[in-house]
């Protein structure tokens, strides 16, 4: 009776949890642009809650959307595939800023016809989708367009001129960072002393208080116009495509690293970055014209005079904002300039507030130096990006963390008065504010030290290279030692130092040979929840011992792009649709979907030697804790021993 109840429980669990997800439907159309040019359109209709990723994703993120044109000859591609404006926001699962599409995504590719003969242009789209809880293995959607030759008449096609609506969540984050950066610039010795001087000028020179306030507001708006114009200029010069590619381009990242180091050296007092004096002189002369033009050039003079302080911050901000596409630099400069302009307008409206401002002094230079240290820390993030893309392993995780420990350790010593730079004044006492910042930076320094020995450092996980990109991915001092002698050659070192098979048949054969039960781990290289299970759950000593010594672990990666030999490629039906199995990942995905009725990862199956399920199958959503997964494994072992 107990055996029947157990079997029923397994069947109910499988039926309730199994599901084949198909959240994306593709539509392909074409549009005649001229006698020889055609625009191909690829439209993805995305189910609510799911994300389709941009073409421009860093290597350590999810799989980017990729278009492959198989047909050769008869046409030429004009530029690259252009995508609509993606949503850009920080994804806590991947610990990085990602670009993705919701609801629908439209991609276009222009082609030039070079043949008089009709032909079919074939290809495929390689893509990946995720929701808040899981990611599906990458899929391939095939497309084909019937194209008429140049002399074969006009091309008839219908298409919708629709574009993705950007929800703008990522832009709000960028605006906030820029706004904070503007306040940081406000507290530098080039800008801060200008507040009482400028406000006093407007209040004294204006006949009425209302006129003074109005002039100050115009002055603030002029500041905003000047900096936003700079953002528009950057976007116009580089273009949206170039800006989108900056995040993963090796040369851009190395260039940004060098640029930020120069900015940092300027803040630390090595030299001052100044614009030509003639620019400032001409702007001052233009102030004498009076009226709106005079006020505008007063704002322009402020921008020029304060460039030695604001320039590095603006430059850094533009570097960060550039990866937000065309609107990134514009939104960045809007937030930055608004933070600078607001105090001038507010203090003009309420002059009495000027009495509450702290006096100018050495503390302003301390702000510059602090920003210089932060510039250096950020610079190494860009150098790390370049190293990750090139896979040179010159700046691995341990070295990156060591550099950051030194940077923030020295910053803490500076704030406490143990270090002094050329332009610093004597520090007679430490203010409460300075001590508070020193406590924060000192705490961060101590927090990072265990990272040298493999600690995950979740608070700064978006900055250093991932755990696997290090000198000791499994912790300092970890070695396989004599363990290798007890494992067959087909096994591979997996997460937490657990040996696993990456081939189903080999793993099952070895389990039968050793008399151990089988645990199938359907996983993916770009599966975030898989990594969470491996780091947070598999690290438990009892669970690690079971997976290491009491079962045969078979980890099947459903997103491997390694091609199968031609004689092993085949076509099957998946969720009522034809599916071509061309890669190793396709093979394991079809095995999971057709055998267990789901295509989400991670997905765990406990089998006996007859390849029968012993307990219900497990996933991240329902078994993503140490206690639940441990109980699942123990119940599987108990059933196997019966």
Of the two residues 121 and 468, the one the predictor is more confident about is 121
Most confident of 35-44, 51-60, 333-342, 594-603: 35-44
Strands of 93-199 (E only): list them.
96-101, 104-113, 119-127, 129-130, 139-147
Of the two residues 203 and 180, the one the predictor is more confident about is 180
Q: Model confidence at 598, in pLDDT bands (50, 70, 90)? A: confident
Of the two residues 189 and 502, the one the predictor is more confident about is 502
pLDDT for the residue 535: 80
pLDDT for the residue 170: 57
Total Cβ atoms within 10 A of residue 31: 18
pLDDT for the residue 487: 47
Q: Model confidence at 349, in pLDDT bands (50, 70, 90)? A: low
Is the Cβ–Cβ distance between 300 and 227 less than 8 Å? no
The whole-number average pLDDT for the span 549-570 is 87
Cis peptide before 576 (omega within 30 of 0): no
Tokens of 173: 């984050």
Of the two residues 6 and 309, the one the predictor is more confident about is 309
Asked if residue 68 has pLDDT above 90, the reply is no
Of the two residues 78 and 19, the one the predictor is more confident about is 78
pLDDT of 357-366, one tens digit each?
A: 555 555 567 8
d(CA 573, CA 571): 7
Tokens of 229: 């114009």
Asked if residue 180 has pLDDT above 50, the reply is yes
d(CA 148, CA 141): 23
pLDDT for the residue 9: 39
Is the Cβ–Cβ distance between 375 and 267 less than 8 Å? yes
Most confident of 45-49, 171-175, 194-198, 230-234: 45-49
Helices (H) and strands (E) counted in the chain, each on its own, are 18, 19
Asked if residue 212 has pLDDT above 80, the reply is no
Average pLDDT value over all residues in the chain:
76
**Residue 37 parent element (H or E):** strand 37-46
pLDDT of 383-435, one tens digit each?
A: 887 787 676 788 888 999 999 999 999 999 999 988 888 777 777 788 888 89
Provide the β-strand partners of residue 81: none
Provide the β-strand partners of residue 572: 579
pLDDT of 290-308, one tens digit each?
A: 556 766 766 666 665 565 5
Q: Model confidence at 443, in pLDDT bands (50, 70, 90)? A: very high
Asked if residue 113 has pLDDT above 80, the reply is yes
Asked if residue 590 has pLDDT above 60, the reply is yes
d(CA 512, CA 516): 7
d(CA 451, CA 358): 39
pLDDT for the residue 17: 46
**Range of lowest pLDDT (75-79, 239-243, 336-340, 440-444):** 239-243
Of the two residues 380 and 156, the one the predictor is more confident about is 380
Residues of CATH 2.60.40.1250 domain(s) within the chain? Answer: 24-147
Residues of CATH 3.40.30.10 domain(s) within the chain? Answer: 482-641
pLDDT of 458-487, one tens digit each?
A: 788 767 887 767 777 655 655 444 444 344
Of the two residues 573 and 80, the one the predictor is more confident about is 80
Q: Model confidence at 539, in pLDDT bands (50, 70, 90)? A: confident
Asked if residue 580 has pLDDT above 90, the reply is no
pLDDT for the residue 525: 72
* Pairing, β 570-574 against β 577-581: antiparallel
Q: Model confidence at 43, in pLDDT bands (50, 70, 90)? A: very high
**Range of lowest pLDDT (18-22, 224-228, 317-321, 416-420):** 317-321
pLDDT for the residue 325: 53
Asked if residue 11 has pLDDT above 60, the reply is no
The whole-number average pLDDT for the span 207-235 is 72
Pick the CATH number of 482-641 from 1.20.1560.10, 3.40.50.2020, 3.40.30.10, 3.30.160.110: 3.40.30.10
**Residue 579 parent element (H or E):** strand 577-581
Tokens of 344: 């001038």
pLDDT for the residue 109: 92
pLDDT for the residue 330: 75
Pinpoint the alpha helices (H) of 306-326.
Answer: 307-322
Q: What percent of the chain has pLDDT over 90?
A: 17
Q: Model confidence at 202, in pLDDT bands (50, 70, 90)? A: low
Place of tokens 């947070």: 536
The whole-number average pLDDT for the span 147-153 is 68
Most confident of 303-312, 434-443, 476-485, 594-603: 434-443
Asked if residue 240 has pLDDT above 50, the reply is no
d(CA 65, CA 526): 13
pLDDT for the residue 249: 62
Q: What is the DSSP letter of 261?
A: H
pLDDT for the residue 241: 44
Q: Model confidence at 154, in pLDDT bands (50, 70, 90)? A: very low
Of the two residues 119 and 494, the one the predictor is more confident about is 119
Residue among 222, 176, 188, 186 nearest 320 (CA): 176
pLDDT for the residue 510: 92
Of the two residues 623 and 162, the one the predictor is more confident about is 623
Asked if residue 201 has pLDDT above 70, the reply is no
CATH topology for the 24-147 domain: Immunoglobulin-like (2.60.40)
Q: What percent of the chain has pLDDT over 70?
A: 69
Is the Cβ–Cβ distance between 95 and 461 less than 8 Å? yes
Q: Model confidence at 160, in pLDDT bands (50, 70, 90)? A: very low
């Amino acid at each position: 009776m107990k055996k029947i109840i157990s079997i029923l429980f397994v069947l109910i669990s499988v039926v309730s949890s199994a599901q084949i997800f198909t959240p994306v439907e593709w539509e392909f159309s074409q549009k005649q642009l001229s006698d020889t040019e055609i625009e191909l359109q690829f439209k993805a209709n995305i189910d609510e809650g799911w994300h389709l990723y941009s073409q421009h994703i860093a290597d350590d993120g999810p799989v980017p959307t990729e278009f492959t044109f198989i047909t050769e000859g008869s046409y030429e591609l004009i530029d690259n595939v252009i995508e609509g404006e993606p949503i850009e926001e920080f994804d806590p699962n991947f610990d990085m800023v990602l670009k993705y599409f919701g609801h629908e995504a439209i991609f276009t590719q222009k082609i030039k016809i070079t043949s008089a003969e009709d032909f079919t242009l074939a290809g495929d789209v390689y893509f990946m989708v995720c929701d808040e809880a899981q990611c599906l293995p990458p899929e391939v959607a095939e497309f084909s367009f019937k194209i008429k030759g140049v002399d074969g008449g006009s091309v008839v096609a219908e298409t919708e001129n629709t574009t993705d609506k950007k929800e703008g969540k990522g832009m709000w984050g960028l605006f906030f960072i820029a706004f904070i950066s503007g306040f940081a610039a406000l507290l530098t010795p080039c800008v801060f002393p200008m507040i009482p001087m400028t406000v006093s000028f407007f209040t004294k020179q204006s006949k009425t208080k209302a006129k003074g306030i109005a002039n100050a507001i115009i002055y603030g708006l002029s500041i905003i116009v000047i900096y936003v114009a700079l953002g528009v200029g950057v976007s116009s010069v580089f273009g949206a495509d170039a800006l989108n590619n900056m995040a993963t381009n090796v040369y851009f990242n190395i260039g940004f690293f060098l640029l930020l180091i120069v900015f940092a050296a300027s803040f630390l007092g090595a030299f001052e970055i100044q614009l030509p004096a003639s620019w400032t002189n001409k702007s001052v002369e233009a102030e004498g014209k009076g009226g709106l033009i005079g006020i505008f050039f007063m704002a322009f003079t402020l921008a020029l005079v304060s460039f030695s302080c604001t320039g590095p911050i603006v430059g850094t901000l533009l570097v960060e904002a550039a990866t937000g596409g065309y609107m990134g630099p514009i939104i960045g400069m809007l937030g930055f300039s608004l933070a600078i302009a607001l105090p001038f307008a507010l203090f003009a409206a309420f002059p009495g507030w000027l009495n509450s401002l702290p006096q100018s002094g050495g503390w302003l230079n301390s702000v510059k130096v602090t920003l210089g240290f932060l510039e250096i820390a950020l610079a190494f993030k860009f150098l790390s990006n370049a190293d990750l893309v090139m896979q040179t392993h010159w700046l691995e995780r341990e070295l990156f963390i060591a550099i950051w420990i030194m940077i923030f350790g020295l910053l803490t010593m500076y704030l406490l008065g143990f270090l002094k730079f050329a332009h610093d004044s004597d520090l007679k006492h430490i203010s409460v504010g300075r001590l508070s910042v020193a406590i924060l930076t000192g705490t961060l320094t101590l927090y990072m030290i265990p990272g040298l020995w493999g600690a995950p450092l979740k608070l700064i996980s978006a900055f250093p290279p991932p755990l696997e990109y290090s000198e000791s991915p499994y912790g300092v001092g970890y070695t396989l030692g004599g363990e290798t002698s007890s494992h067959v050659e087909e096994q591979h070192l997996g997460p937490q130092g657990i040996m696993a098979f990456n081939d189903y048949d080999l793993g099952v054969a070895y389990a039968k040979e050793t008399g151990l039960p089988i645990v199938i781990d359907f996983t993916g290289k770009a599966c975030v929840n898989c990594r969470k299970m491996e780091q947070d759950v598999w690290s438990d000593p009892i669970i690690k011992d079971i997976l290491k010594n009491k079962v045969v672990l078979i980890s099947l990666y459903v997103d491997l792009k390694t091609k199968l030999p031609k004689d092993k490629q085949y076509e099957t039906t998946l969720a009522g649709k034809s599916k071509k199995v061309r890669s190793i990942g396709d093979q394991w995905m079809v095995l999971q979907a057709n055998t267990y009725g789901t295509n989400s990862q991670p997905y765990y199956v406990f089998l006996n030697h007859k390849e029968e399920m012993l307990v219900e199958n497990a996933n991240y959503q329902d078994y993503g804790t140490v206690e639940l997964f441990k109980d699942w494994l123990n119940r599987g072992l108990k059933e196997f021993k019966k």
